[in-house]
Structure formats: C-alpha cells, structure tokens
Structure 1
Amino acid sequence: MFKFNHINLDLWTETYAINFYLGYFSRWPDMCAVQETPQGRIMGYVMGKAEGTGSERHGHVTALSVAPEYRRLGLARKFMAFLEQVSDENYRGYFVDLYVRCINTAAIHMYEGFGYSVYRRVKEYYQNLGLGLNPRDEEDGFVLPL
C-alpha cells in the first residue's frame, strides 16, 4: 500500500487514512486494482465499492489515479472498464458513478470521453485545495453516472 505514495502526492488525488484503504481492500477486494511496471513501480490504481439496493444498485469509483509519467496511456480507461465489469458481473450494478472536483476540467473531459456525463453538483463535497480560486468550485463536486 505504501507503494501508492508517489501517486497520492498529486494535487488532484484524494487521499485517505490508512484504515480507509484497508477497509476497502477487505470489503471490496474485487473492486481494487493496480497497474505496475515490470520493475514493480505502481503506475496507477483504482478503488471502488458497491452501493445501493434494487434498481439503485451500482458501482462507485472512490479513487482512480495514474502517476503523471504514465498518463495518456489508456490506464484510466482500463481501470474504468474493469470497475464497470466487476460492478455488473459481481454485484449486478445498473450503473457506475463517481465524483470529481468542479475545477478538475481535465478529469471531467476524460470521463465524458468514456461516456459519463455531469448529473448534478454536490456542494462542499471536497476540502478546499487552497488554490485561491473560487472556493465553491474547489470544494464542490460533480456526480458523473454512466
């Protein structure tokens, strides 16, 4: 797990306490994946979970991050396809959703390219980044379901 640290230093990557990660690994191990180089360096990772019941049953992307030097290689697309498949096959999820900061336009465009669309804005979902931009845009998140 500590091999993730170089990825978690990225400004756009949400980080959590170690017990949060361990909870995901133990409860939804089939919805967690990493991609490594042949030398064992982590290129990126994804963590998800199953939520809801009945027709609201779905997969949720909790974290997806790719190290800057491995971006634009299609890893994020592969991670999303992986979570969509596991959500469908293992949990009978009807859709997959995720949250993204309103100011993270690169991620929003990437997810839109995967077929996701902005559904609604959730006020104060995130901590303020302290970038000096519009605090509302730094703290609010968009919900993007597929």
Structure 2
Amino acid sequence: MSTVRPMKVDDLFKIAPCNLDPLTETYHIGFYMEYLTKWPELCQVVLGIDGKIEGYILGKLEASPYPCQVSPYTPSTNPDPNYLPWHGHITALTVAPHARRLGHATRLSTALEQASDAENAWFVDLFVRASNKIAIDLYTKMGYSIYRRVVNYYNDGEDAFDMRKPCKRDVKRETVREDGENVRVNPEDVW
C-alpha cells in the first residue's frame, strides 16, 4: 500500500529515481524550493511500501500577472484569449518507472484538483510534450482535454499541449474547448 504525504525539503535528495524518465523535466534545487515555500500544500510525494518515494507532484495556484480587461472575469466576456484566470497548475508530475500503473499519478493530480476547487479556481492545467502519447492518454482518462498547442515550447523545439480540466467553478465548461490541438499559439502567448 502506498501513502501520499506533503513533500519535505529533504525529499529533494530522494526524488532522483522518479526523474530517470527522459520525458520528465528535471529542475534545479532552487526551483523545487520555490514551490515548497510558496505552495507547500500543492507539493506531495507518494511513498511505496518500502518508504521510498515513488512519485511526486509540484503544483501552484496562479493567474496572469496582468489584470483582466473585464472585471469580474468570466470566460464568455473576456476579450483576451490568452488571459489566465485564477487556476491550478501542475508543473511537474512524475512516477518512478517501477511504480507506474498503480494509480499514483491519478491520486496526486486528484489532490491538486481538490485543492484548486477549494480555492475557487476555474480549472487545472498542465503542459505535456506533444509526442508523449502515454501521458496524454493518462490525462485524457482523468478528464483533461487539449486546450491549445504551444509551438516550440520546449528547448529542443518540440511542441507542448496545454491540457485543462475544469473545476467546479466552471459550471458551463467555458475554460475548455473542442479540437484544441488545432489551436496554435507561441510560447510568449501563454505567459
């Protein structure tokens, strides 16, 4: 049986086995520390039966750094298609190769979605490599859909899909769309 608990600072020295996948983005220690200090409740780890870390999530709650042109914000009246209202964001979600297909990713993302709902967020989003079919299928099964394709998002020139799952606040599902993989934007458009 696995256990989900809040991430601690010393966990940063124990997550390397989770980062061995070439599709997992690995960051410098200061990046992880920023998340732990700003959004500690949105950073969690999964411990296996042996007590070792088998997966983790880094998340945050945020909005665009500039004000919405229409106040109060509603998706239907907002004239800026790239404005991001208050939302949850999955920055990193990874599971060690030996612990996959055990539901860890679903448990971690569900916890972040619940925290986002509790903070009255509009949606939860994440970025995933367009070639990472396994992750795209996983997120789709969890209720995420592709909102847009971010062209040349990654340093190697690969595109990313911006995937979203609406929160309870978005009753009309206005923050998601059909055929999002055909809506192309540049990295500077996503803030």
Please give the TM-score of this superposition, normalised by the length of structure 2: 0.68
Mapped pair 1:96 → 2:124: yes
In the alignment, structure 1 residue 110 sits paired with structure 2 residue 138: yes
Q: CA deviation at 1:8?
A: 1.0
Between 38-47 and 13-22, the greater mean CA deviation after superposition: 38-47
Aligned-partner residue type, residue 78 of structure 1: R
Structure 2 residues without counterparts, runs of 5 or longer: 1-11, 65-72, 75-84, 166-191
Paired residue total: 136
CA shift for structure 1 position 107 = 0.3
Q: CA deviation at 1:126?
A: 1.2
In the TM superposition, what is the alpha-carbon distance from 1:51 to its structure 2 partner? 1.1
Deviates further, 47-56 or 14-23: 47-56
Matched, 1:70 2:89: no
Q: Work out which of the residue numbers 35, 40, 43 in structure 2 matches 1:29.
A: 40
Cα distance, 1:74 vs. partner? 0.7
| Structure 1 position 141 matched with structure 2 position 169 | no
Q: Identical aligned pairs, as a percentage?
A: 48
Contact 2:62 2:87 in 1 (8 A): yes
Code of the residue aligned with 1:68 in structure 2: it is: P
Q: Distance in 2 between matches of 1:37 and 1:111?
A: 22
Which protein has the larger Cα radius of gyration, Structure 1 or Structure 2?
2
Question: C-alpha separation between the residues in 2 aligned to 1:127 and 1:111?
Answer: 23
Please state if 1:5 is matched with 2:16: yes
- Out of 30, 45, 49, the position equivalent to 1:38 is 49
- Between the aligned partners of 2:56 and 2:138, the Cα distance in structure 1 is 16
Question: C-alpha root-mean-square deviation of aligned residues, in Å?
Answer: 1.3
**What does residue 57 of structure 1 align with?**
86
AA aligned to 2:124 is: V
Q: Which runs of 5+ in 1 are unaligned?
A: 129-135
Give the TM-score normalised by structure 1. 0.89
How much does 1:38 deviate? 3.2
CA displacement 1:99-119 (0-9 Å, x = unmatched): 000000000011000111111
Following the alignment from structure 2 to structure 1, what is the Cα–Cα distance between the partners of residues 155 and 108? 25
SS of 1:49's partner is strand
**Could you tell me how far 1:127 is from its partner in structure 2?**
2.1
